[in-house]
Amino acid sequence: MDFVVGLPKTVKNLDAIWVIVDRLTKSAHFIPINIRYPLERLTKLYISEIVRLHGVPTSIVSDRDPRFTSRFWESLHKALGTKLRLSSAYHP
């Protein structure tokens, strides 16, 4: 899970893409979002776009974006039974 940011705004005021990759099937989902969406809205998108199609994942690997390290996001995945794993930072 990661965000592609810094894109020009669309007519619907969307300026980022949320990228979610299923590591088993290698399929990717590209969800257009506004980078200022609250976490609750991202959660609804996650459930409607990912859980609805693939079911609840057993684990998730994401970067250390503050949205993914919040207590709300952690408690959501704990309730779903998903193990949340954070990737290490890239240091060239």
Fold topology of 2-86? Nucleotidyltransferase; domain 5 (3.30.420)
Write down the domain spans for the chain: 2-86
How far apart are alpha carbons 20 and 8 in whole angstroms?
Answer: 21
Q: In this predicted structure, what is the pLDDT of residue 60? A: 83
Q: Is 13 helix (H, G, I), strand (E, B) or coil?
A: coil
**Angle between the 71-80 and 39-46 helix axes, to the nearest 10 degrees?**
30
**What's the mean pLDDT in 9-19?**
96
How far apart are alpha carbons 12 and 34 in whole angstroms?
Answer: 9
pLDDT digits (tens, 9 = 90+) for 60-77: 888 777 777 778 778 888
pLDDT digits (tens, 9 = 90+) for 17-56: 999 988 888 889 999 999 999 888 988 998 999 899 888 8
